[in-house]
Structure 1
Amino acid sequence: MPELDRALAAPSTHDRSARRTVDVLDVSDLRFPGGTSHSIAEEVTAQAHAGYTTGLVTLNGPLVARVSAVNPLIRRSVEAGHAALLIGREPVHARVVVVRHPAVLQHAADQLPPVHTDHVVIVANAGPSDIDGHEHYDPGTVHEIAHRSFGTEPIWAPIGPLVRAAIAGRVPRASMTDHDWVNIIDVDAWQVPAEQRPQRPGRRGDADGTAAPPRRPVVGRHSRSSPQKWPSDPATLRAVYPDDGSWTVRVLGGAEPAEQVLGRIPQGWEVLEFGTMSPRDFLASLDFFVYFHNPNWVEAFGRTILEALATGVPAVLPPHFEPVFADAALYAEPHEVRAVVESMHADPDAYAAQASRALRAARERFGHEAHVARLERIIGAPSSPPVTRRVPTPSHPATAPSPAALFISSNGAGMGHLTRLLAYALRCRPQLEPHFFSLSQAAPVVASFGLPYQYLPSAAAAGLEPGRWHRYFATRVAETIERVRPRFVVFDGTWPYEGISMVRSEHPDIPWVWSRRGLWRSGKNREQLKKAEWFDLVIEPGDLASPADRGVTATAPAHRVGPVTLLDPDDLDDRTDARRALGLDPSARLALVSLGAGNINDTSGDVGAAVAALRQLDVEVCVTRPEIAVDGGAMDDVHLVREFPLSRYYHAFDLAISATGYNSFHELLRFGVPSLFVPNRSTALDDQHARARFAAGQGWVHQLDAVTTELAVPLLGELLERGEQMVKHVADVDPGNGAADAAARLAELAGV
């Protein structure tokens, strides 16, 4: 167990025995990332507020394959004093043992300490088999193990009717409870004040009193990105989550199973990875929660459904959920979903009535009181005074959330626009809560920094003519603004889209910022510069080659900051750790080649010539692009590196051969990597030649307009000998990372 978990579990000597005598002992694999751990944490909270003391025993079961820590929600319960995490072999005394997930007990009962108890409840929160027919547990075997381990006859508590049917006949009939052990929820913590909700369905009134057309329905789902949690055929997927743009479809938890079935993520979908947004805020942004899953999967209960109901969002579900949720939800076959959603979306009164039924059912049938009542039926009254009740939201601290900020990146040739915005956004936290809206197919990297994102295909990727796409862009951005409610919007790109002016007219009170790098090719893009009047502030990231800037931005008004890089020098791994992280030889001479696609054995191209030159110098090669061709040659001395941000590992390399886009240019120079720069000849606006020539003219690097082996070998040889001395002079003129200055200016704009 990780040391931090041990610290949570370590009682002092004088209270150890007291901590191991509890009302309720919850036994499970506390590493579960999803509903099982959430349900345990919810029950622990209800028990504490009622006065029941709780102990937790974690078993490393077969369903969590990797070593990981206790689920954060359960950790917070322990840290709040609601439960004690019990480690070691000392005996535990409990009035009732509650086992969650029978498979854990079947495969890991040998990890239990001695337990003395009068009652054992096995909560069957899933059926014995998964969608592939693999049996995770045998109910009869689990029953025998529980009897042997705890010394008393267990009772079985199915979480819902489908699981009840799945285990019926496989456990003694007398051991089955009459009532399902339904999941519970703290309704007060999940409710969202009306002023924090987006406008609900119905006709909207314009400022002049006329009626505006109703906006399209916003439907969504929240679940783990598992095949069993998604429909398995394209027809069902398109029926319940349309891909024709008629609805806004939002997904929290990833959509890889749907992508595999459909072959793509539909352009009308907004997909957030698991953990990048609080479920409460996500659900509050929906009009309808639509949840359909693999038909071969026995969905025992559906905790995310209950969360939607507690948030006041009408749920549309397959009919088999009706015995569980009754009139709290709406039920339809896949082909009926569109009619159900659109009918209620057009009827505000019916919509409001269904939302009220959902909330009422969540409170009356699935509230904390329901759990306390079932415990009282088993063991009677609690042994201790109630813990003082606090009502934070399920995944937020009790303090008010930080105001939001929206960052929009265009779709450039590389990742420069997205990376610059990340550099600003990460330095805006925690004063602001960043949200991303990106046209870059690299948008998912945002999730690795714990930030929510939304991907919108560019006009070319979406196959739309420009006029239609600009309207589409404006609609999607406006919807995002209504959901996120940002203090400001930052756009990074060299070509502001016409849709921006459309959005500004709809939301005139929100400031817009243009993050606009310089060094445009001389005379180019002058008409775009006029669009600065659309923005309240222009931030220009500095350029170490700015003395060579002859473009139209050189004298344009802007708030200029230092050159922007995602990382600072202190963020980089040292040479040993960097090579270990990339799986590289700790002692070999290594070069990074970052020139785009190319055949490594075609010496007529830049990539092939660079690799050949490095081979002549006995330097191993690392390339950054997966598109390199490998036919016709050995790859033993060529390594593929794909990490982001790769700059974290720059100390692994003895030198680099790189294009001179904004990001790579400044990262390599700022982080002291001896470099041969080869400007990209196909850029429409970015003056990479000016950057490369200026840096070489300062003696910091070497430069070639095109690579040949004959020209590259002597230059690379010199970089190996004295490249570190050359590049270290960059520090004399580097004003420091401008990302912090830009973030401070944005925070000032937001008033925080």
Structure 2
Amino acid sequence: MAAAFDATGARGPRLAYVIDPRFAGGTSAAVAAELRVAAGMGRVTVHARRSAMFGADHQVAPALREVLDELGLPLVWDAPEIAAELVILHNPAFLKFQPEFGGRILARHLVVVAHENFLRPGGVEGFDVGACLARIDRASLALRKSIAPVSAHNRATVETWLAANPAALRWDVLDSDWFNICDMAPVPPTDAPRDRRGRHSRPGFEKFPALADLDRCFPPHAEANVILGADMLIAAQVVRPHWTMLPFRSVEVEAYFGMIDFLVYFTAPTWRESFGRVIAEALAAGKVVLTDPDTGAAFGPGVLACTPAEVDAAIARLVADPAAYRAQAARGQAVLAGFSTGEFATRLAALIAGVARGRAA
């Protein structure tokens, strides 16, 4: 066990990433981006856990597979013991359908990156948070155990849940958000915005608001209403002649952003994005984003927080005032600078430095 805590060596301390690599979308993409940073800061091992959530196969999300191959990092499947100075476990929700973690974790500092909101709107748990954390807690021996929220709203759900569950107080919360790295190249906003609206998401039901709200957000008088990821609407035979409904991944995201000037993004009232990578992509593309206050909290003044009923007036104002449109788009791109590789590297370096000093930072 002493060897597990050997923080010496030319390549720095041991860093262990733990993930079910079958996660599609945000979780795997976030880990892939982090690995490019972490690989230059320590001796990185990536541990894959097969969970009941995804079954017994050995599939790996394409974004994660690409980075593992690029960095020459092997993927260690279902190791009985994971030992490192800093262990980073991504998205504990993968444990929700099984009774135990299925191995042992030894660390100076164990960080669990939340990803999922602990609470949904109305206060209902997003998943069985207590059970998942307990499975990790029972499997781990660490000097410090921390939860890392990924955004302002995600942090609020984590802290509210912890306050209501004092038995989980052995977990602290990191001071800084463990954001998704967003290093997309910024595109200058248009000088002549038009009332061209769109939304983009995976086709899950939780990603879409009520049909009445979609009608408010994408009305007949808009010049364009482009919905990418409209598989569910297409399958339900929803007919709106003024909507362009495209299946998920049917066009490249870059081409999609060329069709719109405003991203209008609302979800089901019972669900919220924990980070909102599609919003970051739209901001990088020079678009103005309108979304609900909870989802928009991660991006502060970079987005327009509103309700579906307020969308029309906000868009009309900015179409009539191109300078205001450009200023809002510029605020969005300025916010993205806080989600850069360099900023993430600074935060990860602080954690590693704390471990190297013999205490978690």
Indicate if the aligned counterparts of 1:57 and 1:87 stay in contact, CA closer than 8 A: yes
Matched, 1:235 2:201: no
State how 1:455-466 maps to structure 2 within 5 Å: none
**Aligned match of 2:226:** 250
Indicate if the aligned counterparts of 1:259 and 1:265 stay in contact, CA closer than 8 A: no
Counterpart among 62, 66, 70 of residue 76 in structure 1 = 66
Counterpart CA distance in 2 for 1:361 and 1:132 is 29
**Aligned match of 1:642:** none
Indicate if the aligned counterparts of 1:121 and 1:156 stay in contact, CA closer than 8 A: yes
Choose 1 or 2 for highest CA Rg: 1
Indicate if the aligned counterparts of 1:316 and 1:330 stay in contact, CA closer than 8 A: yes
Matched, 1:298 2:292: no
CA pair 40-108 structure 1, distance change in 2 beyond 3 A: farther
Matched, 1:125 2:125: no
State how 1:65-144 maps to structure 2 within 5 Å: 69-81=59-71, 83-89=73-79, 91-107=81-97, 110=100, 112-128=102-118, 137-144=127-134
Shift of 1:345: 2.0
CA pair 158-265 structure 1, distance change in 2 beyond 3 A: farther
Matched, 1:376 2:354: no
Shift of 1:27: 1.7
Unaligned runs of 5+ in 2: 1-8, 357-361
TM-score (norm 1): 0.41
CA pair 83-276 structure 1, distance change in 2 beyond 3 A: farther
Counterpart among 47, 50, 56 of residue 38 in structure 2 = 47
**Aligned match of 1:326:** 300
Shift of 1:341: 1.3
Question: Of the two structures, which has the highest relative contact order with CA contacts closer than 8 Å and spacing of 6 or more?
Answer: 2
Aligned residue pairs: how many?
Answer: 339
Indicate if the aligned counterparts of 2:231 and 2:248 stay in contact, CA closer than 8 A: no
Shift of 1:276: 2.9
Counterpart among 17, 26, 45 of residue 35 in structure 1 = 26
Unaligned runs of 5+ in 1: 1-17, 203-213, 384-752
CA pair 366-249 structure 1, distance change in 2 beyond 3 A: same
State how 1:138-177 maps to structure 2 within 5 Å: 138-152=128-142, 153-166=144-157, 167-169=161-163, 170=165, 171-172=168-169, 175-177=172-174
Q: What whole-Å deviation, never above 9, does each CA across 1:352-384 have from its counterpart, x for those lacking one?
A: 112221111101x1111222122122112999x
Q: What whole-Å deviation, never above 9, does each CA across 1:186-220 have from its counterpart, x for those lacking one?
A: 233xx34x6xx9xx352xxxxxxxxxxx7x42222
One-letter amino acid matched to 2:178:
W
Matched, 1:187 2:192: no
**Aligned match of 1:210:** none
Counterpart CA distance in 1 for 2:70 and 2:253 is 21
Indicate if the aligned counterparts of 1:292 and 1:318 stay in contact, CA closer than 8 A: yes
Counterpart CA distance in 1 for 2:175 and 2:99 is 27
One-letter amino acid matched to 1:378:
L
Shift of 1:175: 0.9
State how 1:406-421 maps to structure 2 within 5 Å: none
Identity fraction in percent: 28
Matched, 1:339 2:313: yes
Q: What whole-Å deviation, never above 9, does each CA across 1:1-57 have from its counterpart, x for those lacking one?
A: xxxxxxxxxxxxxxxxx9xx9743222221122211111112122323x43443222
Shift of 1:340: 0.9
CA pair 314-184 structure 1, distance change in 2 beyond 3 A: same
Shift of 1:334: 0.9
Counterpart among 174, 191, 199 of residue 221 in structure 1 = 199
The secondary structure found in structure 2 opposite 1:118 is: strand
Shift of 1:70: 0.8
Counterpart CA distance in 2 for 1:139 and 1:145 is 10
One-letter amino acid matched to 1:181:
W
Shift of 1:163: 3.1
Counterpart CA distance in 2 for 1:70 and 1:305 is 25
Indicate if the aligned counterparts of 1:28 and 1:105 stay in contact, CA closer than 8 A: no
